[in-house]
Amino acid sequence: MKISFTKPGLPETGVLVVMGYEGGELSESAKAIDKVINGSLARAAKIAKFKGKLGELVSVLAPQGTKLERIVLIGTGKPEKLDLLGAEKLGGTIYMALSAKQPRTVSIAFDQFDEGESRVWEQAAHIANGALLRSFRFDKYRTKEEADKKPSIRALKILTPSGGRARKAFEQLEKVAGGVFLTRNLVSEPANILYPESFANICQELTELGVEVDVMGEAEMKKLGMGALLGVGQGSDRESKMVTMRWNGQQGKGRKAQSTQIAFVGKGVTFDTGGISIKPAAGMEDMKWDMGGAGAVTGLMKALASRKANINVVGVIGLVENMPDGQAQRPGDVVTSMSGQTIEVINTDAEGRLVLADALTYTQKEFAPKTVINLATLTGAILVSLGNERAGVFANDDELADRLKAAGEKTGDKVWPFPMDAAYDEQIKSQIADMKNTGGRFGGSITAAKFLERFIEKETTWAHIDIAGMAWSQADKPTCPKGGTGYGVRLLDQLVADYYEG
């Protein structure tokens, strides 16, 4: 779908979308087209009891006096309260409503009106971005889908007096959306296609954007003492991998320009059977997206490199497959992590924290970042706490947690901070090792975070984001179809842009 920004005017063909405000008032563009079609739009709005609430729709088919296929009136709510997320919802709703109608061209008339907190050109750019995000489809394995079932929108035009600035703003949003789409694709792939080696191969494609990519196999990880990560993958025929992706975008010279300012670490369990502590069969197919944290880190690296972020960043992902064959680790086994700390494996289905333990240690030893943020579909307990509305944040620094929360509110990738009291450490004490890998049902998300905290150096600012409820959506949303969400890419890109670049 080609997206462009042009001056206001009446398009000759296709579908025209105009705005209506809360209370039922029509925008200037809506009033102008209503005159051309002899008041048909106003009559349709009256019959439909159009209130102008955000996303509310009214259509006029084959409007007389024009060659347009249809005119769509969409509500914006109160225009002074239309923020950037609202603008994205507007764009996504338009795409969602029209994509099944088979139009080739859609023009959205976005009028100038009194500015609220957001500038009009920013809103126009985010309307386009919302439509772009909603346009994602993972359909590569659908071989018999009928043509009239596929979206047909080829061109989306935003008609706005602020077209030049809107276009420039959208160019940056589009690059970040590319990272979101990469993450959605990764999360959506079946496990027979996406496994540690094939995932690593996809990461290597980022070298075309200037990202330095390095892939370690099991022999190298064994030399480094990564017994926690390797233990998870030892039951699979697929070799475990660790991938590092470096973006050195810091401009200038000197020590800061040479150092890694922030590191992102992702859990990449490409399929999780639970291992010997095997999961129930029902719903196990969903465990192809247990690599959502690694997917988000990979998409983020693409986004940062695509927009040439002025920062030095490293992304590290541990890639394993958790399978239950005769070589698999057992409940009760003790493994030694790269940090030298020993772990009693109580439950082989609490495997993600074992992968992250070694990935976190390696990241700090190799790159010495001041700040480390890890993402993982780590616990079912986080869904009990937050459902599918927010990810959980567990941090050793309140300022970092606050920054993540602020970035989440801006992007819609929302988070909520959790306590990290020392008392929770008691639940993961082991009688025979330095720790055990699960602390039981109560406070399960927190004890998982406390486990990870044991692999963070004292001088490192750190946050863990549990995205188990956010990596996949069971329902269509205005800016995301059902399936992989790409959660985390926009959150962390915004965090970098607001607090770490420059």
Would 353 be classed as within a structural domain? yes
Boundary-marking domain end, from 135, 161, 187: 161
- Domain region containing 85: 2-161
Looking at the fold, whether 255 and 287 belong to one and the same domain comes out as yes
Query: Is the pLDDT assigned to residue 347 strictly greater than 70?
Result: yes
Would 207 be classed as within a structural domain? yes
Looking at the fold, whether 204 and 150 belong to one and the same domain comes out as no
| Average pLDDT score over residue span 83-88 | 96
Percent of the chain with pLDDT over 70: 97
Question: What CA–CA distance (Å, rounded) separates 178 from 22?
Answer: 33
Closest CA to 77 of 16, 25, 133: 25
Would 131 be classed as within a structural domain? yes
Looking at the fold, whether 155 and 192 belong to one and the same domain comes out as no
Would 386 be classed as within a structural domain? yes
Query: Is the pLDDT assigned to residue 251 strictly greater than 70?
Result: no
Distance separating the N- and C-terminal Cα atoms of the chain? 33
Closest CA to 373 of 472, 261, 270: 261
pTM: 0.96
Q: Report pLDDT digits (tens) over 101-153.
A: 888 999 999 986 555 556 889 999 999 999 999 999 999 999 888 877 777 89
- DSSP letters, 241-308, are EEEEEEEE---S-SHHHHS--EEEEEEEEEEE--TTSPPPSTTGGGGGGTTHHHHHHHHHHHHHHHTT
**Torsion region of 9: left, alpha or beta (phi above 0 gives left; psi -120 to 50 gives alpha):** left
Length of the chain: 502
Q: Report pLDDT digits (tens) over 289-345.
A: 999 999 999 999 999 999 999 999 999 999 999 999 999 999 999 999 999 999 999
Looking at the fold, whether 22 and 56 belong to one and the same domain comes out as yes
Q: Report pLDDT digits (tens) over 155-198.
A: 999 999 888 999 999 999 999 999 999 999 999 999 999 999 99
Identify residue 58 by its one-letter amino acid code: V
Q: For residue 496, what pLDDT is reported? A: 98
| Residues known to be catalytic | 279, 353
Looking at the fold, whether 460 and 324 belong to one and the same domain comes out as yes
Closest CA to 292 of 274, 269, 313: 269
Would 166 be classed as within a structural domain? no
